[in-house]
């Protein structure tokens, strides 16, 4: 397989030829790091095996898209041929363009010592090609992922410091840059402790599309901003799979009338389709589980909260006013409508471009004008 030609084409699509990330992209065999992956087909995850279909393998590995490598506790490497599974993605190989975007936000210098997250090892390999092995530390909470990445990176002649660590806990050294392609809320205080003065951290806020950059100051705190571009990453996890505390609420929310039935003033919105609305809602009311179902022309969306609150909205067509049922201690749809009112009134929401202040103990505050929220 002429993977080099595919890698060069990928590099040309992602960056300009003079970029310092062009050569890493053009010389890193992503397919070696992702030999198998999961694809979502009608709500189920189907296994794809590269060796059994080399053309599809090359197309997938050198496309600028994320490849899901683990669903729930099941890694694609360990799945049986033609297997189908369900659940939430728990690890992936992030799309190359987004990896580079996060690295660019970090403003990495040639002598930077950086900490990154492991996953498939692809982002780690790019950092090593750019900086050299000795300047890169890569961590993941999953021992199996770290062991597999180590083996595959060794085969490529790439030998960063790899460790099994929970990124929200103590980190294994001191760094000029921390770039996390898993999302957190709030910023772990261990990051401030591990950053050198003047060092920069780059991450996303869990449940949002917000990329946060912040520079450490001499007093041990950090200041920065939410970038104008968005990105979404999986949340940090501390076990084999994510907890889904709203599952019990789902049983009620599917069919119950609830305590309040209203007609929405806006067309039906599945919140994850609108990153700015989703981000604002998650900041104000974290932990909502969003679901959607299409039945012919009729579409229904649900919002489920671990405290027992829920909302269900149904509309027969795109322009039809949805009928909304709500139950539990909080009115989730009302919170959503207030955010949409603000968006219509002001033309944008204050989340993108917001200023960020992080205390040494990790308290993270976003602010823009009169608006602020502390995570």
Indicate whether 223 and 285 sit together in one domain: no
Element (H, E) at 214: strand 210-216
Indicate whether 72 and 205 sit together in one domain: yes
* The pLDDT of residue 318: 75
Instruction: Work out how many domains the chain is built from and give that number.
Output: 2
Q: Is residue 365 part of a domain?
A: no
Contacts of 124 (CB under 8 A, 6+ apart): 116, 118, 136, 138, 149, 153, 158, 160, 162
Q: Which of 183, 199, 230 is the last residue of a domain?
A: 230
Low-confidence stretches of the chain (pLDDT < 70) are 245
> Measuring CA to CA, how many Å separate 128 from each of 114, 151, 166, 339?
10, 15, 21, 43
Read off the pLDDT of residues 78-135 as tens digits, 9 standing for 90 and up: 999 888 999 889 999 999 999 999 999 999 999 999 999 999 999 999 999 999 999 9
Q: Which of 151, 182, 148, 154 is nearest to 166 (CA)?
A: 182
Indicate whether 213 and 258 sit together in one domain: no
Give bridge partners of residue 140 from the DSSP assignment: 164
First to last CA, the chain: 48
Contacts of 327 (CB under 8 A, 6+ apart): 252, 253, 256, 258, 259, 260, 308, 309, 310, 311
What does the angle CA 19 – CA 230 – CA 181 come to, to the nearest 5 degrees?
A: 70
DSSP code of residue 70:
E
Indicate whether 63 and 172 sit together in one domain: yes
**Maximum Cα interatomic distance, the chain, rounded to a whole number of Å:** 62
Q: Is residue 183 part of a domain?
A: yes
86 CB burial (10 A radius; 0-12, 13-18, 19+): exposed
Q: Is residue 314 part of a domain?
A: yes
Indicate whether 287 and 225 sit together in one domain: no
Indicate whether 199 and 253 sit together in one domain: no
Give the tokens for residue 222.
Answer: 């950090």
Q: Is residue 359 part of a domain?
A: no
* The pLDDT of residue 1: 74
Indicate whether 254 and 225 sit together in one domain: no
CATH number of the domain that residue 269 is part of: 3.30.160.690
Q: Is residue 207 part of a domain?
A: yes
Indicate whether 216 and 256 sit together in one domain: no
Contact predicate 24/81, CB 8 Å: no
Task: Give residue for tokens 């772990």.
Answer: 188
* The pLDDT of residue 159: 97
Indicate whether 163 and 311 sit together in one domain: no
Structural domain harbouring 314: 247-346
* The pLDDT of residue 240: 76
Rounded to whole angstroms, the Cα distance separating 276 from 209 reads 7
Calculate the dihedral angle through the C-alpha atoms of 352, 305, 344, 299, rounding to the nearest 10 degrees: 120
Q: Which of 100, 363, 99 is nearest to 222 (CA)?
A: 363
* The pLDDT of residue 242: 72
Give the tokens for residue 41.
Answer: 């087909």
Q: Is residue 356 part of a domain?
A: no
Rounded to whole angstroms, the Cα distance separating 140 from 354 reads 29
Q: Is residue 358 part of a domain?
A: no
Indicate whether 255 and 197 sit together in one domain: no
pTM value surpassing 0.85: yes
Sign of CA dihedral 329, 332, 333, 339: positive
Task: Give residue for tokens 């139950």.
Answer: 327
Indicate whether 226 and 257 sit together in one domain: no
Give the tokens for residue 313.
Answer: 């909205």
Indicate whether 106 and 215 sit together in one domain: yes
Q: Is residue 219 part of a domain?
A: yes
């Amino acid at each position: 397989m002429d993977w080099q030609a595919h890698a060069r084409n990928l590099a040309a699509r992602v960056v300009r030829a003079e970029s310092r990330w062009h050569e890493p992209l053009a010389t890193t065999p992503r397919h070696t790091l992702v030999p198998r992956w999961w694809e979502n087909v009608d709500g189920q995850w189907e296994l794809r095996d590269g060796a059994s279909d080399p053309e599809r393998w090359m197309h997938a590995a050198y496309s600028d898209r994320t490849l899901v490598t683990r669903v729930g506790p099941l890694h694609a490497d360990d799945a049986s041929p033609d297997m189908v599974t369900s659940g939430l993605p728990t690890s992936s190989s992030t799309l190359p363009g987004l990896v580079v975007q996060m690295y660019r936000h970090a403003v990495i210098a040639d002598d930077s010592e950086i900490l990154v997250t492991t996953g498939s090892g692809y982002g780690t390999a790019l950092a090593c090609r750019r900086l050299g092995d000795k300047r890169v530390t890569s961590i993941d909470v999953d021992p199996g992922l770290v062991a597999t990445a180590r083996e595959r990176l060794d085969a490529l002649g790439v030998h960063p410091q790899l460790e099994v660590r929970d990124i929200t806990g103590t980190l294994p050294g001191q760094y000029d840059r921390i770039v996390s392609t898993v999302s957190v809320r709030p910023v772990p205080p261990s990051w401030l402790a591990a950053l050198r003065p003047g060092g920069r951290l780059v991450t996303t806020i869990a449940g949002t599309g917000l990329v946060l950059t912040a520079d450490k100051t001499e007093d041990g705190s950090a200041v920065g901003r939410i970038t104008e571009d968005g990105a979404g990453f999986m949340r940090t996890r501390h076990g084999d799979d994510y907890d889904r505390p709203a599952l019990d609420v789902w049983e009620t929310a599917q069919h119950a009338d609830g305590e309040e039935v209203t007609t929405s003033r806006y067309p039906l919105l599945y919140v994850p389709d609108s990153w700015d609305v989703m981000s604002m809602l998650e900041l104000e009311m974290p932990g909502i589980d969003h679901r959607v179902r299409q039945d012919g022309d009729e579409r229904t969306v649900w919002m489920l909260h671990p405290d027992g609150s829920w909302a269900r909205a149904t509309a027969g067509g795109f322009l039809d006013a949805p009928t909304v049922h709500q139950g539990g201690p909080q009115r989730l749809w009302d919170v959503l409508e207030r955010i949409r009112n603000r968006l219509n009134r002001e033309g944008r929401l204050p989340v993108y471009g917001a200023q960020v202040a992080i205390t040494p103990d990790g308290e993270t505050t976003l602010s823009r004008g009169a608006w602020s929220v502390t995570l």
